Amino acid sequence: MATVAAAASPFAAPHEMMARAARPAAAAPEATTTMDLGQVLRLSDFDKIADLGDGASGVVAKVRLRGCGSSAVFALKTAHYCDGGAEVEVEALRRVAAGAGPWGSWSPHVVRCHAVFRCAGGEPAMLLELMDAGSLGRDPRRRATVAQLLAHPFVARRDGEACRRQLREIIVETM
């Protein structure tokens, strides 16, 4: 699926992210990387604690570094959108790990990427900072109130009461 033009850019387009490539016939050798401590890490150095979730682009597991005596846990995201441009993708992930964003500094809401691995099937895996409190977007203290939602210009300029009634029903169902 990757083309010569796509290889020039280290970032995949959304439609390229969703394409699933066939698994290679032979398993790729396990990739190693170094973390902040300077030690060489392998994907097999981590113990899986729990599944955190999955989506269209990958799965996320809670992992702990085996034998380090630390209580530090990480989120290991394994991507499913690997295609023929794997080398370009690995380079992009390395740039993310180094904090070299294409638009200057990264957002403070982006978690830290500690390491990038290649799984046996060729999929990229990123060792990320674990946000144990969950998504900032799901924090009840940061959510809009029902009154704020109903006063939003998008809702206010709609067909008045009918739209507000539907919104109230949706809010009640999701709470």
Residue stretches of the annotated binding site for ATP? 77
Per the listing, tokens 């067909």 go with 159
| 141 alpha carbon, distance to own chain's centre | 23
- Annotated binding-site ranges: 77
Dihedral pair phi/psi, residue 80, rounded to 5°: -105, 5
**What's the Cα-to-Cα distance from 61 to each of 10, 19, 36, 129, 170, rounded to whole Å?**
25, 22, 21, 12, 31
Beta strands in 37-109 (DSSP E): 40-42, 46-54, 58-65, 73-79
90 vs 126: CA distance, rounded Å:
10
Q: Where are the alpha helices (DSSP H) in 68-135?
A: 86-98
For the beta carbon of residue 124, count every other beta carbon within 10 angstroms: 21
